[in-house]
Amino acid sequence: MKHLNDAMNEILKSISDAIRQIDPREIEDFVVELLRAREEGRRVLVVGAGRSGLIGRAFAMRLMHLGFNVYVMGETISPSVVDGDICMVISGSGSTTIPTAVAEIAKKLGVKVLAVTSNPNSPLGKTADLTVVVPGRSNVAMEEEYHSRQLLGEHESLTPMGTLFENSCMVFLDGLIVELMDRLKVSEDEMKRRHAAIE
């Protein structure tokens, strides 16, 4: 079990180091934009591919618990987004094909693009109106063309750098929910009332 324990400790240390590097000003801009969207009833569309997409779904569920009008890209019930809505895109590399294309289309529609990425100079970073940089990738090319590789059956591992972004992103977004709870004065009991009663 030595390798397991060493790995877990290293992962925890890496997440802690990454979280400390996130710019509080970037977080504040995100918080303000999300609060404004909730107050005005605007839609929030969460976008991500692969593991980033799973993290996005978890975050979207918590936003729903907080009373946001939130949807996840790819779900059959997701409505169209319009001028003034928010498109929140999660991508470590900022170059993954589908999330990047969605961000560009959203921008053309007048939708505000919020990005969570390790690479602010990526296509996603350059498209986004607001960006939170979550450290975690030193070799961006490893995640490029994710969907193309999957279709070709090329499943090379993105560990450890992809994993660091995703783990750090999960911690950051869970922390963001707590900050939103505090500012909205929403209790956990109130959130539970919005949770699915049938699962």
Active-site residues, by number, are 166
CB 106 within 8 A of CB 81: yes
What does each C-alpha distance from 92 to 65, 132, 171, 181 come to in angstroms? 26, 11, 14, 26
Cα(47)–Cα(158) distance, integer angstroms: 19
Is residue 86 classed as helix, strand or coil in its secondary structure?
Answer: strand
Rounded Cα gap, residues 189 and 193, in angstroms: 6
Sign for the CA dihedral angle at 48, 109, 111, 93 comes to positive
